[in-house]
Amino acid sequence: MKNTITLVDGEASVDLNDPWELVLNQECSGQCCVEPSAIWLSRPASDRGEAVLIEQEQELHDIQPYLQDIRLVALMFKDFKDGRAYSLAYLLRTRFGYKGELRAVGDVLRDQLSLMRQCGFTSFAIKEGKDPYDALKGIKGLSVTYSSSVSSPSPLFRRVRRY
C-alpha cells in the first residue's frame, strides 16, 4: 500500500517498501494481498493469505480461530466520522489477544492517528492524496493520555507518582 506509516518499537516512520496490497474486488496478484474477510474465509485454509481486511459490519468471531496465523489485520474506515474500527481494534488487542500488525485503511487522516495508536493500531495507510510525511506529525498527537488504552493500559492517576 502506498502512503503507509508503520510503528517499529514505538517510533513512527513512512514505509516506502510496504509489500501489502489491498485487494477489494479483483483476484490477488501477489504474495502479500490483503483480502476482505468474506473472500479470505471462503478459501480453503491452505490457500488463505497472511492478511485479512475487516469491515465495520464484520463479526470478529468469524476470524478469531485463525488470528494466530494472520500477520496483518486491516480495519476499514469507510468514512472518517465512523468510529467502529476503533472499537474493533481495541477488541482485537484486548479481548482477542491479537499480537500481529493492525493497520488502519480507507479514510485515514492525520488528525486520527494518535487515537488510532491508542486503540492498538501499528500501521496506517494514509488516504490517497495526503502527504504521509505530514501525517507523521499526527502520530505524536497528545503527549499525555488520561484514560487507559491499549498503548497505555493504566490511567494517568495510576502512572503519576505521588510525593
Q: What is the CATH number of the domain that holds 111?
A: 3.40.50
E-strand spans in 90-130? Answer: 101-106, 123-125
With beta carbons less than 8 A apart as the criterion, state whether 113 and 139 touch: yes
- 24 backbone dihedrals φ, ψ, rounded to 5°: -100, -50
Print the domain residue range for 73: 4-159
Is the pLDDT assigned to residue 128 strictly greater than 90? no
**Residue 94: partners with Cβ closer than 8 Å, 6 or more residues away:** 120, 150
Give the rounded percent of residues in the chain with a pLDDT score beyond 70.
Answer: 83
Question: In angstroms, rounded to a whole number, what is the distance separating the alpha carbons of residues 92 and 86?
Answer: 10
Q: Give the pLDDT confidence score for residue 81 in this predicted structure.
A: 80
Higher pLDDT, 40 or 102: 102
What is the pLDDT averaged over residues 98-125?
92
Higher pLDDT, 146 or 161: 161
Residue 68 to residues 13, 57, 102, Cα–Cα distance (Å)? 26, 22, 13
Which strand ranges, in their side-by-side order, compose the sheet holding 11-14? 11-14, 4-8, 123-125, 101-106, 72-77, 51-54, 33-36, 21-22
What is the pLDDT averaged over residues 105-132?
91
48-82 pLDDT, tens digit each: 889 999 987 778 999 999 999 999 999 999 887 88
Please count the structural domains in the chain: 1
Q: Give the pLDDT confidence score for residue 45 in this predicted structure.
A: 86
Direct distance between the N- and C-terminal alpha carbons of the chain, in angstroms, rounded to an integer: 49
With beta carbons less than 8 A apart as the criterion, state whether 40 and 72 touch: no
State the residue for C-alpha cell 491508542. 118
